[in-house]
Amino acid sequence: MTTEHAARRVDSWQVAQHQFDIAAERLHLDQALRVILRQTQRELTVHFPVKMDDGTVRMFTGYRIQHNLGRGPSKGGIRYHQDVSLNEVRALAMWMTWKCAVVGIPFGGGKGGVIVDPKRLSKRELEGLTRRFTSEISVLIGPERDIPAPDVNTNPQIMAWMMDTYSMHAGYTVPGVVTGKPLSLGGSEGRNEATGRGVVFCIVEAAKKIGLDLPGARVAIQGFGNVGGTAAKFVVEQGARLIAVSDARGGVHNDEGLDVSRLQSWYQEHGTVAGFPAGTSIDNAQLLAMECEILIPAAMESQITAENVGNVKARIVAEGANGPCTPDADAEFARRGIFVIPDILCNAGGVTVSYFEWVQDLNRDHWTEANVNAKLREIMVRSFNEVMTIADHEQCDNRMAAYLLAVERVADATAIRGLYP
């Protein structure tokens, strides 16, 4: 069975709720808090028309979901993908709540998506879809309410269209309504690289924790988009050797090491790492089973399941994607002593710098890249150490430790605020 087929069989929302249930039980969480935090707070489904280049009109379906607002406005990306579903967006919104809490930034979790393959749209059609979708969800979003950001198949240009659409409705420029914008529109230095950079900050700390020398360590990365491509660059700068990369269309392997700059040029030209001439072709299943020290799943959720977890040979699994490993896979990793850096910690660099961008926009300020990166490293290292302290004290795996930290913070905020009315 391919990892793509396995992913389709796993309900991400059930996974997310199961992970929460385990943490809630271990925390002896009050039953009322379990009822509240186990569900999303708001769900908006929209069906909207877009005029295509040939003059026809197509209907699209999109979602914006807010899981929890206890610690601040909701925060989370917008993804454009043909497999987007309501349950997937629910799970991603919940994971965003825990992610913001584990790194201690004052946001709740939100997420959005449109069921579309953007590669099949022209630029004009993509802009039309983005502006209409923004109009439809404008009843929920706002700089003090819910702040979208880029995710799968969305980018700074799409965020610029969203910001402009919202601003046209407001009658004045509202840069803080989205993050991940171009620098010229109030974006933050270092935002594009933030998620991948945060992944590598965590890998550096994990390597220290388990006594792994990063120079010469073999790395395999699933996904070569913003997160995987950036992580590849920074992990190689740490002296590691990138031996394998894959994406939805194929992969490449070279045990002597892949040249990241050449690989990125190939990816920019061809839209895939498949066919890169300086290595042998592999598929996603082979990538996940690669002999390596560090595996970075940085593609879609539910890629490592009960069916293929036994093939993973890495010492560190650094979750660059959201929810790439199912609970069954977690149990096997724990049994085998594989060090997992959970997604709500590992890939929180993106939302952390999104928070920095939001603060800069609200204050009409602009920070240097050195300042952004230093603040990001401080938060990621502090959060990593907080999770490790809980893991050691509670004698639990890293994901459970991250959940205990995050869920307790959100539960405390929810309990202190109380129920209205």
pLDDT at 10: 74
pLDDT at 1: 37
Superfamily of domain 193-346: NAD(P)-binding Rossmann-like Domain (3.40.50.720)
Cβ atoms of 273 and 292 within 8 Å: the answer is no
Residue 73's Cα: distance from chain center in Å?
Answer: 18
Domain range summary for the chain, segments of one domain joined by +: 41-176, 193-346
Confidence of residue 9 (pLDDT cuts 50, 70, 90): low
Please give the Cα distance from 76 to 205 (Å, whole number). Answer: 26
| Residue 103: pLDDT over 90 | yes
| Angle at 367 (CA atoms; ends 96, 149), nearest 5 degrees | 30
Q: What average pLDDT does the segment 160-181 reach? A: 97
Name, in order, each residue with C-beta under 8 angstroms of 421's C-beta and a sequence gap of 6 or more: none
Q: What average pLDDT does the segment 314-333 reach? A: 93
Report in angstroms the alpha-carbon separations of 243 from 66, 122, 130, 217, 227: 39, 35, 37, 10, 17
| Residue 4: pLDDT over 60 | no
Please give the Cα distance from 67 to 20 (Å, whole number). Answer: 13
**Structure tokens belonging to residue 194:** 């933030």
pLDDT at 301: 83
Per-residue pLDDT tens over the stretch 187-203: 999 999 999 999 999 99
Per-residue pLDDT tens over the stretch 236-293: 999 999 999 999 899 999 999 999 999 999 999 999 999 999 899 999 999 999 999 9
Q: With residue 14 as reference, give the H or E element that holds it.
A: helix 12-26
Q: What is the pTM of this model?
A: 0.93
Confidence of residue 79 (pLDDT cuts 50, 70, 90): very high
Q: Phi and psi of 81, rounded to 5°?
A: -160, 145
Q: What percent of the chain has a predicted confidence (pLDDT) above 90? A: 92
Q: What average pLDDT does the segment 392-405 reach? A: 96
| Cα dihedral across residues 6, 8, 10, 16: positive or negative | positive
Residue closest to 219 by CA, chosen among 265, 263, 272, 268: 263
Catalytic residue among 111, 181, 233, 375: 111
Amino acid at 17: Q
Give the architecture-level CATH label for domain 41-176.
3-Layer(aba) Sandwich (3.40)
Please give the Cα distance from 23 to 179 (Å, whole number). Answer: 30
Q: Is 111 a catalytic residue?
A: yes
